[in-house]
Chain A
């Protein structure tokens, strides 16, 4: 990389942090009650990133696949917990369902891209594997939490309609299909929207980073295209997986809707 970009010093970070003051002022002036949450979020963001900066340096020095996969597992686990915590309802096993679908789809797609498309040598080269996996996970997380939230909401609110179909001989699949379709559609909306306006309205973060680091725009764009297709495929697989598992958790093999397994929570975290 032709590295003639500006290294940021601590005081430059502090200056950037002053920008959050805009949010604080708005929140206080309009009594949005967001000041405290904003502060916590800002501190968390800064602390997490600084920490990751240190960790990544040692991760990028890794020469064996096992620790890289281990870090990937931890990232996937954190993403699956975060995905569930953004939903308004729970059922037993929801965290496992989230983990299974996010882990499966992210590893499958990232692995295929590393080995088959980008053809990194060795395949686990952390400088490629970790950032790509992170981007894929971040997007699956959004898709999974939106789809899961819609599905659980639908089960709770359309319960009577679903059971009216069941009561007239519908299979659990026939009764749930409109809701399943809708949930998958909602899970995919952010990815589709992002692809629609990419490059026109938004310059995606990864591409911007590469450009700042001095990469040729045509080369950065190619990486962005690959990552967007990875994100689209992984989000589709992840939402499909989690909705499939939630469907099995809430509709039993006797074609009964187990609405009792679903309960609302008082407050959404993070």
Chain B
């Protein structure tokens, strides 16, 4: 605690602030002394080779992994003081591989509005349709079975689902890995539109693709050096 203040605490209050994070799995240290801060509107990229723990870092920030070491704050409140569902309603994580339950696309998109944390919040029918039309898809798409979608389409649905619940921070874990070029463009476009709609939003994006990170993020954090 007596070490010099992290650069994050100087600027305006960060949305997400992490200090001295460390992660160990099966006795192997993935990263340690990891500091991170995310300002409203900021787009942070995370790079690093396979196995450097990019996914585990996002999962830790999403509260899906226990915080092994260090501190994590969202909107000035420590993770431990947040109710987990409320925290995750604000900091949503999108896994690299989409995983949707059986049912129509529309039922999939509606599902998070059935969670207690969104009691009283209605499923935004019109916004869903406008996002779909951005992607060049009509209402028929909503009636398709989610479990029969192609990998790319499932990823789009998973992203739409995350965007519709309007988190403040999106944690995107290689969202375009294994997607074709057209779908990659659609995903980047959707995320950009979502960010632009509210100045208080921000996202963290992990990727192997340096040119994509250069395009869609303002600042990069490399995990290779921390390993």
Residues on A facing B (Cβ under 8 Å): 158, 160-161, 163-171, 174, 178, 252, 254-257
Interface residues as binary, B60-89 with A (CB distance below 8 Å gives 1, 0 otherwise): 001111100000000000000000111011
Beyond A168-B162, A256-B63: 13 further Cβ-contacts under 8 Å? A163-B64, A164-B99, A167-B94, A168-B88, A168-B115, A168-B165, A169-B89, A170-B85, A170-B115, A170-B117, A174-B116, A254-B84, A257-B64
A171-B116, A178-B101, A254-B66 known; A160 and B95 CB under 8 Å?
yes
Q: Does B97 contact A (CB under 8 A)?
A: yes
User: Cβ of B99 and Cβ of A169 under 8 Å apart?
Assistant: no
Interface size on B, residues (CB 8 A): 30
Once bound together, how far apart are the Cα atoms of A252 and B65, in whole Å?
11
Summed over the interface, the residue pairs from A and B with CB atoms below 8 Å come to a total of 71
Can you list 22 contacts pairing A with B, beta carbon distance less than 8 Å? Answer: A158-B99, A161-B99, A161-B101, A163-B95, A164-B95, A164-B100, A164-B158, A165-B111, A167-B62, A167-B88, A167-B95, A168-B88, A168-B89, A168-B162, A168-B165, A169-B112, A169-B165, A170-B117, A174-B115, A252-B66, A255-B85, A256-B64
**B64–A166 touching, CB < 8 Å:** yes
Known contacts A166-B88, A168-B165, A169-B118; decide if A256 and B66 are in contact (CB<8 Å). yes
- Does B92 make an interface contact (CB < 8 A)? yes
**B residues 113-134 touching A (CB-CB < 8 Å):** 114-118
A165 and B95 alpha carbons, distance in the complex (Å): 11
- Which A residues are in CB contact (< 8 Å) with B86? 169
Within 8 Å CB of A160, what residues of B? Answer: 95, 97, 99
Which residues from B are CB-within-8-Å of A174?
114-116
**B93 an interface residue at 8 Å Cβ cutoff?**
yes
B85: A residues at CB distance < 8 A: 169-171, 255
Top 3 closest pairs, chain A to chain B, by CB: A160-B99, A169-B89, A255-B84
Judge whether B54 is part of the interface by a CB distance below 8 angstroms.
no
Q: Which residues of A contact B118 (CB under 8 A)?
A: 169
Complex-state Cα separation, A101 to B85, whole angstroms: 29
What separation, in Å, do the CA atoms of A13 and B118 have in the docked complex? 67
Are A169 and B95 also in contact (CB < 8 A) when A163-B64, A256-B64, A257-B64 are? no
Quick check: is B201 within 8 A (CB to CB) of the other chain?
no
**Separation of A215 and B116 alpha carbons in the complex (Å):** 57
**Alpha-carbon distance between A161 and B147 when the two chains are bound, in angstroms:** 12
Complex Cα gap A255–B62 (Å): 11
Residue ID in chain B nearest A255 by CB atoms: B84
A163 neighbours in B (Cβ, 8 Å)? 64, 95
Which residues in A have their C-beta under 8 angstroms from that of B115? 165, 168-171, 174
